[in-house]
Amino acid sequence: MPRSPLMEPAFGFMNAQIVHVAAELGVADAFTDDRPRSSAELAEATGTHAPSLYRLLRGLAGLGVVEQKEPDLFALTAEGRRLRADAPDSIRSLIRLFCGPDVWRTWGGMAETVRTGEYAWERMTGRTPFEFFASDAEMSETFNRAMAEHTRDVAPAVVGAHDFGRYGTVADLGGGDGTLLAAILRAHPGLHGVLFDLPAGLADASGPLADVADRAEIVPGDFFEAVPKGADAYVLKSVIHDWPDEKAAAILRNCRAAMGPDARVLLLEQVMPEIVAPESAGIVRNDLNMLVATGGRERTEAEFRELLEGAGLTVVSQTGPLSETAYHVIEAGIAH
């Protein structure tokens, strides 16, 4: 009997935990100077049990994170270096967040979510994910870094896909540490920016914005209450998908209230196809993550248009999917 193709995803959680444990323990960071290391050396550096770490290292070798040079000598691969905290293309925090215990147990509650429609995170913790992260400094730092790592990877495509130079001021709503806003400002020296987020989200904003600080204003606030007035463009990257329709519409209505007659809302979001095929697996996984983790959703083009129209906005243009990302830039203006 041939092996079922379902076996790979069914046991994918094992590979996820192999990589997560390596990220959590800082195994990649222990390869100082990129020199091959024995399991005993790595165990001493990471404070772990050498025989057990040896077995994990073999698992990492099977995934291409390390290369087993000799029976007990391992070298970090190019992909493995991305698990280092100091790597310029690090994905360590993304893996610590999405394969960590909190998201892990949330996905474990999917069956009950499908039965009831109640998203698992709040059911299991008694708090929304954003309340949860804000209450724990370490988790908040991991979340912020994870979002920055993801934004860093998509920012070049976003900057290249839309003419931000036509604006005087761009406000990045829910912009976290300012990674995206900094990329936009660097590309357009005449542009001014406003970074707007909850105080916990802005905790690390001084770093990414350091070289454009003279053109960037950091404003704490809650986009469910109000957003800064007077910007020419309001950027919302991966914000609307976090929320169900009624809350997403509230954010957009607050944007509408703050906008001048010619201002724009720019949604940077993935767009769900009307008909899903295997190549749509990534966005479908993201949609299910929203289902269990936040109560939000990924939306089709028609659903975005309906949501915007309900907030008094209308789609002006849509670009995407952007090169090497699944993101679209949905530009909307005030409906007349």
- Say if 142 falls within a structural domain: no
Q: Reply yes or no on whether the pLDDT at 324 is more than 80.
A: no
Q: Which of 162, 192, 241, 328 is catalytic?
A: 241
Mean pLDDT computed over 22-42: 96
Q: Which CATH number covers residue 329?
A: 3.40.50.150
CB atoms within 10 A of CB 297: 20
Residue 10 has pLDDT above 80, yes or no: yes
Q: Examine the domain organization and report whether 64 and 162 are in the same domain.
A: no
Choose the weakest-confidence range: 8-12, 116-120, 129-133. 129-133
Q: Do residues 194 and 171 touch, judged by C-beta distance below 8 A? A: yes
Give the separation between CA 194 and CA 327, rounded to whole angstroms: 22
pLDDT band at 1 (very low <50, low <70, confident <90, very high): low
Q: Is the pLDDT of residue 323 over 80?
A: no
pLDDT > 80? residue 95:
yes
Q: What is the pLDDT of residue 226?
A: 98
Report whether pLDDT(87) > 90. yes
Rg (CA), the chain: 22
pLDDT (0 to 100) of residue 71: 98
Please tell me the distance from the alpha carbon of residue 16 to that of residue 284, in angstroms, as a whole number.
Answer: 18
Any domain includes 193: yes
* Domain annotation covers residue 248: yes
Tally the domains of the chain.
Answer: 2
Name the percent of the chain in helix, strand, coil, to the closest 5.
Answer: 50, 15, 35
* Containing structural domain, residue 19: 7-85
Can you tell me whether residue 194 is helix, strand or coil? Answer: strand
Answer whether residue 90 is part of any domain. Answer: no
What distance lies between CA 2 and its chain's CA centroid?
Answer: 37
Q: Could you tell me if 278 and 179 lie in one domain?
A: yes
Tell me: do 226 and 309 sit in the same domain: yes
What is the rounded average pLDDT of the residues 51-80? 98
Q: What's the confidence (pLDDT) of residue 125?
A: 87
User: Which one is predicted more confidently, 49 or 203?
Assistant: 49
What is the H or E stretch that residue 334 is in?
strand 327-334
Look over the chain and give the mean of its residue pLDDT values, rounded to a whole number: 95
Q: In the structure, what pLDDT confidence band is assigned to residue 325 with cuts at 50, 70 and 90?
A: confident
User: Could you confirm whether 20 is annotated as catalytic?
Assistant: no
- Of 43, 63, 85, which residue constitutes the final position of a domain? 85
How many contiguous H segments (helices) and E segments (strands) does the chain have? 14, 9
**pLDDT for position 62:** 98
Structural domain ending residue among the three candidates 85, 113, 137 = 85
Same domain, 80 and 166: no
Kindly state whether residues 169 and 280 are assigned to the same domain: yes
Residue at 296 is within a domain: yes
Residues 25 and 156 in one domain: no
Q: Which spans in the chain are helix H? A: 7-10, 12-25, 39-46, 50-62, 92-98, 101-108, 110-116, 120-125, 129-134, 137-161, 179-187, 245-258, 281-293, 301-310
